[in-house]
């Protein structure tokens, strides 16, 4: 059974795929161990992402794939770097390539709920119409 950090990362990969599928304008590519998700939005932060599918994928492969894919779309992107030692090389390569860490130094952790939440009062969610 994978550890919690691995399960969180696998969940984030699947969320990236699904978020991309939500839009007819979304573009999804998986090749050479890299997942590239271009959502229907051109906002680069978290909506257009490059992620390693496997820990063994070289940082240069991730960055080259991201540049080619998102450059072809004429938009920026986010390289998702885990706060785990396995991604230290990817983080260093991003910095060396001039990419800026977003939300540093605390980062945005991949989150997991390890226990059932206590019951909460239901809320009413409605679209804003004016």
Per-residue pLDDT of 70-103, as tens digits, reads: 999 999 999 999 888 999 999 999 999 998 877 6
51 SS3 class: strand
Model-level pTM? 0.78
Question: In which band, very low, low, confident or very high, does the pLDDT at 130 lie, cut at 50, 70 and 90?
Answer: confident
d(CA 57, CA 39): 23
pLDDT digits 0-9 by tens, 52-71: 999 999 999 999 999 999 99
- Beta strand residue intervals within the chain, DSSP E: 27-31, 34-38, 48-52, 78-79
Instruction: Tally Cβ neighbours within 10 Å of residue 36.
Output: 23
Instruction: Tally Cβ neighbours within 10 Å of residue 118.
Output: 5
Say how many residues make up the chain.
Answer: 130
Q: Which of 115, 80, 109 is nearest to 94 (CA)?
A: 80
Cα–Cα distances (Å) from 78 to 8, 47, 111, 126, in that order, read: 18, 8, 18, 31
């Amino acid at each position: 059974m994978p550890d919690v950090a691995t399960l969180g990362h696998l969940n984030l990969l699947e969320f990236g795929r699904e978020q991309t599928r939500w839009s007819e304008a979304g573009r999804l590519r998986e090749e050479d161990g890299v997942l590239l998700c271009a959502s229907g939005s051109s906002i680069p932060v978290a909506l257009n992402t490059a992620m390693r599918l496997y820990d063994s994928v070289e940082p240069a492969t991730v960055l080259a794939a991201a540049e080619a894919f998102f450059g072809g779309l004429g938009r920026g992107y986010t390289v998702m770097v885990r706060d785990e030692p396995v991604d230290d090389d990817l983080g260093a390569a991003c910095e060396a390539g001039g990419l800026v860490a977003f939300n540093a130094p605390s980062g945005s952790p991949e989150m997991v709920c390890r226990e059932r939440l206590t019951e909460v009062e239901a809320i009413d969610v409605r679209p804003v119409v004016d």
